Amino acid sequence: MADFVTYASLVEGDEFLHPPALFEVSQDAVNRYISATSDSTPELTELDADGDKIAPPMIAAVYVIDALRTRVGPPGGIHAKQQFTFHRPAKIGETLYTAAYVLKLYQRKGRNYVEMTTETKNQAGELITSGMITRIWGKE
């Protein structure tokens, strides 16, 4: 039994994560992301219109990939394309739940491609980020 998700086990339309993966938007996680990416955007040091502290939009790259990493493919996979729509910034203290669905499976130049859609909502069901990721599946 492979210790990774095999390409043959994927089915278009299937939910990839059961249940959706959880991510706590902590001040520490946001600080570490901002520091690692040298992001000095002034709005990140201010409160939003609701008086909340917010995270950079692209921290979606952390919670979405973190979610997808809970079910890994074989080593050697490559992240080929990425789409994001940032509905609003995540707020510190929120709990995010990321769901992923297999959208399309196809071969090109002898390699297996997987397209997945992702949708991240907070604990109240508000949509935070949606996206699509294209991965070249690693060789099994």
Binding site for other proteins (CB under 8 A): 29, 32-33, 35-41, 43, 54, 56-58, 61-62, 65-66, 69, 78-89
Q: Least distance to other proteins from the beta carbon of 17, Å?
A: 16
Residue placing its CB nearer to other proteins in the complex, 18 or 81: 81
Count of beta carbons in the 10 Å neighbourhood of residue 126: 14
Token pair recorded at residue 81: 């394309």
Residue placing its CB nearer to other proteins in the complex, 66 or 140: 66
Residue placing its CB nearer to other proteins in the complex, 8 or 37: 37
Q: Least distance to other proteins from the beta carbon of 109, Å?
A: 15
Q: Least distance to other proteins from the beta carbon of 11, Å?
A: 25
Cα torsion 90, 96, 101, 103 to 10°: value is 10
Task: Give Rg (Cα) of the chain.
Answer: 16
Regarding beta strands 95-108 and 111-122, do their DSSP bridges make them parallel or antiparallel, or are they unpaired? antiparallel
